[in-house]
Amino acid sequence: QVQLVESGGGLVQTGGSLRLSCEVSGRALRQTRMAWFRQPPGKEREFVAAVTWSSSTTHYADSVKGRFSLSKDNTKNAVYLEMKSLKPEDTAVYYCAVDTPPIKVLSALRFSSSYDYWGQGTQVTVSS
């Protein structure tokens, strides 16, 4: 059974930083695509960032480019989201997700329906 566990959320002031972690158990991450999504209060879930494991290619939403950085650790079967220069509009529940093989086409990586397993989410709150 595949399980994803996020951690690292919390309360931070505008301009601050946080590092989210997502550890995956139940399968190796080779040939998968991992992603972070977020759901702001009262809004729909939205794409944040993704990495294709085999190529280490990363993709970011325009709203976080230059501020957020996604990395992976092959030995720990984990992905991380380093978030800097946080803004109040980054306040959301952050989820990690995995797209298992065969992974979807590149044009579909921003859609939540492309991912097969999800974590429970971790709250990030940025105060103004």
Please report the pLDDT score of residue 85 as a whole number.
98
Q: Residue 37: which pLDDT band, with cuts at 50, 70 and 90?
A: very high
Q: Residue 40: which pLDDT band, with cuts at 50, 70 and 90?
A: very high
Q: Residue 86: which pLDDT band, with cuts at 50, 70 and 90?
A: very high
Mean pLDDT of 95-110: 94
Within 8 A by CB and 6+ apart from 16, the residues are 86, 126
According to the 3-state scheme, what is the secondary structure of the chain? CCEEEEECCEEEECCCCEEEEEEEECCCCCCCEEEEEEECCCCCCEEEEEEECCCCEEEECCCCCCCEEEEEECCCCEEEEEECCCCHHHCEEEEEEEECCCCCCHHHCCCHHHCCEECCCEEEEEEC
pLDDT in tens, 42-83: 999 999 999 999 999 999 999 999 999 999 999 999 999 999
pLDDT in tens, 7-32: 999 999 999 999 999 999 999 898 89
